[in-house]
Chains A and B, each alone.
Chain A
Amino acid sequence: MKLMDENPLNLPSASDPDWRFASVRKYRLDAVQPTVDLPEDALQDLAERSRFLDDTSGHAILAGNQLSAPIHLQDSAINLGVSLDLSETPCEMFPTLGGQQFLDYNSTNSRTSICLNVPDNVELQSPILLVHWNDTGVALPQVQVKTGKYSKLCLVEIYLSADSTPGHNIASTQVQAGEGSHVSRVVVRNWNPHTTAVHLEKLSAQRDALLRSININIGGGTIRQESVISAEGQGADLRLHSLSVSGEDQEFDQRTLQTHQAPNSRSDLLFKNALMAGGRTIFSGMIRVSPEAQYTDAYQTNRNLLLDPSAEANSLPGLEILANDVKCSHGATSGQIDDEQLFYMRSRGITEQLARQLLVFGFFEEIISKIHLPDLENKVRGWIEERFKT
């Protein structure tokens, strides 16, 4: 891809408050190798490695900036009018939380914009799976999802590295949940340690829609995620959950904004971070309630579990409230494994190592159990266990 030289990426200034605590310079693209188109057998191999779910309504597998196989959609879904294809029109722009340069870069240069539409009243029984394999160079995936009235969709996005070469990933996702629809989305990021990534997403819910989004961040180097969730209709309900496991040389930088523009809407955010030796996390959350969004319930919680003296957790939980009849709260805690709980288990004959493991995995389970897809839940548990072994 030669585009990179023509559209240089201007990094934000390190003193930009939107990038507080972040290692801005690590997002530089200078040393990046150009993306190469993979040979047929390598593409086929990646498609083989992408069978993470037994039962899907359809899937798209991307390698770098190309499709590894034609997009597949079950006949039953096609008959219902569901569409899943590469879009010609780029993702609509949306407000970012400091990563505007990255969104511009993604939107000018992306060649792979996956577009998923679910018509009114259609309920998909099994999930749609999108797998993005990162290779050398900058992968620039886009995902655009629209659900019609009273429809139902489960979407799984998995981001992985094809091998151990350094890679970059700048992605944008936009989900618009139509009136009364139920959308449940799971994003798993498990790259190799030499990957830097910026993910920008905007999730919006119309009247009475329920939109759940679960982020599982396991592998990667310097990763930034920006999520704007927006309650645009009365009675909209948005839930944003995240679990990140950060270790040596890893920085997970998550910025969120919960906006409420309509009355009687609800949003709930729970971000949990486990920090091993050398791990670093940043959570910056904001709840913004417009004057017209009376009777809003908005909650924001950040829990950091520090497992090593060299770990560092940063929290910036924020509120901006302009309506007066609302219930809003945020909480942030940073701590370690509770000695009393450890003592309780040890007094019942469980070894210290096992007890610690149980407590740490218990901390994760609150998020993992929200996935509601047993085979993916097990896959995620396996990946996390692997992460702890290294």
Chain B
Amino acid sequence: MSATETIDLDFEKGNFHYDTEYDYDAGTGLSEATIDYISGVKEEDSWVRDFRMKGLRTFTDKPMPTHWATRDLDNIDFNKIRYYLSKGQTPSRTWEEVPEDVKNTFERLGIPEQERKFLAGVEAQFDSEAAYSRMKDDLAKEGVIFVGSTEGLREHPEIFRRWFGKVIPTSDNKFSALNSAVFSGGSFIYVPPGVKVKQPLQAYFRINAENFGQFERTLIIADEGSEVTYMEGCTAPKFETSTLHSAVVELVALKGAKIQYITVQNWSNNVFNLVTKRARAEEEAEVKWIDCNIGSRLTMKYPGVILKGRKARGEVLSIALAGDGQHQDTGAKMIHAADETSSNIIAKSISVGTGRSSYRGIVNVPRNLKGCKNNTECDALLINSNSRTDTYPAITVRGDGNSVQHEASVSKVSAEQIFYMRQRGLSEAQAMSLSVNGFVNDLVREFPMEYSVELKRLIEMEMEGSVG
């Protein structure tokens, strides 16, 4: 069988790090001095510094949301985290200018290769700052802006300031406040009216330093009638102490615009991945979050869409795989705020070993709206007898012109399926792997081709040794 060959891949991919000499280091712990340092290094305007200070105050005031979330959050020691590390400010424009050791890291992750092949632009974030940033010239000619957050705020405040922090206010939750205080890196994208970006834009985030927190901030604005697809991938090497990743991603789809946001994360299993992602969809706009969560110690991520304009559409497709000792707490939020808006959530999770996957969702249809529709499907697959899965949706519907349906199911790989495949000569592990891939297949197909191949392999890797 060829199946054995596909499993034969680099299991330690992503698990490497280089001793990098950082030019700028904000040290450990968080205080006003940390903010001053970051703001100073970045030579930011005073309004950005004020925004950060407000974020810090909100972060300090807000309690941990452990009244509903897992107590594991209490294990994060905010005083031991390094909030800013950087090798210099200006992102290099050509691959040759990128320092050798940083380049090696990205080389192993396969970024230049992918860029050469088909990517329109690459924004690779190495710890806090974008180390490499380039975009195909023709895109720039059409007026597409694809820069890091620092550069975006400095060079294009007239575009980004208007929406910055508007979709996700600083006080949204404790971690969005933390990000507002110490954000660094991430992508700022602006697509002018009517421009359809055919190739996906891609960013890659990687945590290299131990005890480092990564707080990238991404803002994508798709102007009227434009279209854009954005892909991000995340990894971190395995360190002894836990690392924190707390991003804020804001998407704005103006009238008739389409945004597709694709995430594949494979953090090592000591990373706390606490991300706030939200989009605002104006009239007839469409926002689609495609989210795949593998790895990390605890992921809490609930991409949301605020359906602000008539006939806006929001979609979340999510795959979560919780391996041994991991907790994937993922879900979606759909806030209907205009007539005839529709939303769709399809979430599939797999729990392996002592892994725990949770679905948490909000669907809200307020009074006086007509013709709003939501469909939610959550399917969970349990592999081992000590695996766990939970579903916690909250659905509020007011008025008589709307319809909402939610369905969830929990199952295990059926003994009959396994028997059938073993009869035909597959080993139990192969049969299990095939079955699991079948379970997520209809969602995996939604990913771009090279991602879906990668994804299937990652799932196979995680499944290793869980059967028998």
- A is bound by B: yes
Which residues from chain A sit less than 8 Å from chain B, CB to CB? 15-17, 20-21, 291, 294, 304, 306-336
Residue numbers in B under 8 Å from A324 (CB-CB)? 382-387, 412
Does B394 contact A331, Cβ atoms closer than 8 Å?
no
Closest residue of chain A to B366, judged by CB? A312
In the bound complex, residues from chain A placing their C-beta under 8 Å from that of B392 are: 316, 318
7 A-B contacts (beta carbon < 8 Å) = A313-B398, A316-B392, A326-B411, A328-B410, A334-B397, A335-B402, A335-B405
Size of chain B's interface in residues, with CB distance under 8 A?
36
Using A17-B68, A327-B411 as known contacts, say yes or no to A336 and B394 having CB atoms under 8 A apart. no
A332/B405 in contact, CB under 8 A: yes
Contact B400 A308 (CB under 8 A): yes
Interface readout for B376-393 with A: 1 if CB under 8 Å, 0 if not? 000010111111111111
**In contact, A313 and B397 (Cβ under 8 angstroms):** yes
B403: interface (CB < 8 Å): yes
Q: Judging by beta carbons under 8 Å apart, are A321 and B410 in contact?
A: yes
Q: Tell me whether B393 and A332 are in contact (CB under 8 A).
A: yes
Check B234 for interface membership: any CB of A closer than 8 A: no
Residues 415-456 of chain B: 1 if any A CB is under 8 Å from the residue's CB, otherwise 0?
Answer: 000000000000000000000000000000000000000000
User: In the docked arrangement, what's the CA distance between A312 and B392, Å?
Assistant: 19
Q: Does B161 contact A (CB under 8 A)?
A: no
What mask results when residues 60 to 92 of chain B are scored 1 for a CB within 8 Å of chain A, else 0?
A: 000000011000000000000000000000000
| B397 x A326 contact (CB < 8 A) | no
| Residue of B400, B407, B409, B412 most packed against chain A (CB within 10 A) | B400
Known: A324-B383, A329-B408. Contact between A20 and B394, CB under 8 A?
yes
User: Contact between B406 and A310 (Cβ–Cβ < 8 Å)?
Assistant: no
Interfacial chain B residues near A326, Cβ < 8 Å: 382, 410-412
Q: A17-B67, A330-B407, A330-B408 are in contact. Are A309 and B397 (CB under 8 A)?
A: no
Q: CA A307 – CA B383 in complex, angstroms?
A: 43
Give every chain B residue within 8 A of A321 (Cβ-Cβ): 380, 382, 388-390, 410
Partner among A21, A322, A325 whose Cβ is within 8 Å of the Cβ of B396 = A21
Question: A328: which B residues are within 8 A, CB to CB?
Answer: 409-410
Residues of B within 8 A of A317 (CB): 391, 393, 395, 406, 408
B367, CB-defined interface residue at 8 Å: yes
In the complex, which residues of chain A have a beta carbon less than 8 angstroms from the beta carbon of B412?
324-326
Give every chain A residue within 8 A of B410 (Cβ-Cβ).
319, 321, 326-329
The winner among B389, B408, B411, B412 for most chain A CB atoms within 10 A is B408
Residue of B386, B390, B403 touching A333 (CB-CB under 8 A) = B403
Question: Nearest-CB distance from A316 to chain B (Å)?
Answer: 5
Q: How far is the CA of A77 from the CA of B136 in the complex (A)?
A: 89
Could you say which residues of chain B place their CB within 8 Å of the CB of A320? 388-391
Q: Which residues of B contact A16 (CB under 8 A)?
A: 67
- Expressed in whole angstroms, the Cα–Cα distance for A57 and B411 within the complex equals 44
Q: How far is the CB of A353 from chain B (nearest CB, A)?
A: 16
Query: Is residue B40 contacting chain A, with contact meaning CB distance below 8 A?
Result: no
User: How near does chain B come to A142, taking the closest CB pair, in angstroms?
Assistant: 31
Q: Is the CB of A313 within 8 A of B400?
A: no
Tell me, yes or no, whether B368 is within 8 Å of chain A by CB. Answer: yes
State whether A333 and B400 are in contact (beta carbons under 8 Å apart), knowing that A315-B393, A325-B412 are contacts in the complex. no
- The residue that A329 contacts in the complex, of B389, B397, B405, B409, with Cβ under 8 A, is B409
Taking the closest CB of chain B, its distance from the CB of A149, in whole angstroms, is 32
The answer, yes or no, to whether B194 is at the interface (CB within 8 Å) is no
B233 to chain A minimum Cβ distance, whole angstroms, is 31
Contact check, B405 vs A333: say whether CB atoms are below 8 A apart.
yes
- Cβ of B380: which chain A residues have Cβ within 8 Å of it? 319, 321
**Residue ID in chain B nearest A308 by CB atoms:** B400
- The reply on B399 being an interface residue by CB < 8 A is yes
Residue from B385, B391, B393 whose CB has the most chain A CB atoms within 10 Å: B391
Q: Does B30 contact A (CB under 8 A)?
A: no
Are the C-beta atoms of A330 and B387 separated by less than 8 Å?
A: no
5 cross-chain pairs, A with B, having the tightest CB-CB distances, nearest first: A335-B403, A334-B397, A324-B382, A319-B391, A329-B409
Closest partner residue, chain A, to B359 (CB atom): A319
Contact of A15 among B67, B383, B394 (CB under 8 A): B67
B69 to chain A, nearest CB (A): 10
Q: Nearest Cβ distance between residue A24 and chain B, in whole angstroms?
A: 15
* Contact partners of B385 in chain A: CB under 8 A: 291, 294, 323-325
Q: How far is the CA of A317 from the CA of B404 in the complex (A)?
A: 13
Asked whether, in the complex, the Cβ of B404 is within 8 Å of the Cβ of A334, the reply is: yes
Q: Is the CB of B408 within 8 A of A331?
A: yes
Chain A residue at minimum C-beta to C-beta distance from B387: A324
Write the nearest CB–CB distance from A269 to chain B, whole angstroms.
14
A313 / chain B contacts, CB cutoff of 8 Å? 395-398
A322 — which chain B residues lie within 8 A by C-beta? 386, 388
Are B400 and A316 neighbours in the complex by a CB distance under 8 Å?
A: no
In Å, the complex CA distance between A320 and B356 comes to: 10
Q: Contacts of B99 on A, CB cut-off 8 Å?
A: none
The answer to whether A332 and B411 have CB atoms under 8 Å apart is: no
**Contact for B367 among A304, A309, A315, A331, CB less than 8 A:** A309
Tell whether B401 is near chain A: CB-to-CB under 8 Å.
Answer: yes
Across the interface, which residues of B come within 8 angstroms of A21, CB to CB?
Answer: 394, 396
Which residues of chain A come closer than 8 Å to B68, judged between CB atoms? 17
Most buried by B among A20, A307, A329: A329
Shortest distance between the CB of B241 and any CB in chain A (Å) = 30
Residue of B nearest to A288 (CB): B390
| Contact present for A310 and B403 (CB under 8 Å) | no
Q: Known: A307-B400, A329-B410, A333-B405. Is A316-B395 also a contact (CB below 8 A)?
A: yes
How far apart sit A21 and B396, CA to CA, in the bound complex (Å)?
9
Seed contacts A316-B395, A331-B407; 10 additional CB < 8 Å A-B pairs: A306-B398, A306-B399, A309-B398, A321-B390, A322-B388, A323-B382, A324-B412, A332-B393, A332-B404, A334-B405
A321-B380, A324-B412 given; A332·B403 CB < 8 A:
no
Given A318-B393, A324-B384, A330-B391, do A309 and B401 touch, yes or no (CB 8 Å)? yes
* B190-217 interface with A by 8 A CB criterion: none
**Inter-chain contacts of A17 with B (CB < 8 A):** 67-68
Q: Are A312 and B405 in contact (CB under 8 A)?
A: no
* Closest Cβ neighbor of A296 among chain B residues: B410
Contact B400 A315 (CB under 8 A): no
Which residues of B are found within 8 Å of A332, using beta-carbon distances? 393, 395, 404-407
Q: A17-B68, A325-B412, A334-B395 are in contact. Are A319 and B406 (CB under 8 A)?
A: no
Q: Is B394 in contact with A314, judged by CB distance below 8 angstroms?
A: yes
B406 touches A333 (CB 8 A): yes
CB-based nearest B residue for A289: B410
Q: Give the complex CA separation of A323 and B412 in angstroms.
A: 10
Q: A314 to B367: give the CA distance in the assembly, Å.
A: 13
